[in-house]
Amino acid sequence: MKEPHLLRVDGGAEEFAPLAVDLAAAGMRLGWLELAAAAPGPLPGTLVAAAGLGVLRAVAVGPGLAVAVKPLRGAPVLRDLLREHFRGCRLVLVAGAGAPGELPRLAPAGDGGGWRVGTPPGELVLAGGALAERLRRPRPWS
């Protein structure tokens, strides 16, 4: 399985709702990864306690949502996170203070819609459908 493309984002998930719609229409999955400087929270105390016992994974499930807590030893490894949590995603948006600085940056293009992708050679401005088509390529930004 191919690894997903990664784009760094600064805004909240709601800013990227149109992208989620465009990718779903193109038959692609979108993932969201928060790489926070501190442990995420608040989490249910029972999950935190279970994770503290050294279980493989503690999971809470309710209508329409599941939360999994996995204890980590050491710093998170991006490649491992992608393999474990984002199988089948064509694109993962990476947010938070821990997002690698070398990733291209994605931002809404403004009132006209579309997306700005900041890459080392320059900036691309793409409509949602055009962004989805580029994601089908092995190297979408070149």
| Strand (E) or helix (H) holding 129 | helix 128-134
The answer to whether residues 3 and 82 touch, using CB atoms and an 8 Å cutoff, is yes
Angle among Cα 9, 128, 25 to the nearest 5 degrees reads 110
Q: What is the pLDDT of residues 72-131, one digit of tens each?
A: 888 888 899 999 999 999 999 999 888 888 899 999 998 767 899 998 778 999 988 899
Q: What is the pLDDT of residues 7-57, one digit of tens each?
A: 999 989 999 999 999 999 999 999 999 988 677 778 888 998 998 898 999
Number of C-beta neighbours around residue 69 at 10 A: 20
pLDDT of the residue at 110:
81
Bridge partners (DSSP) listed for residue 15: none
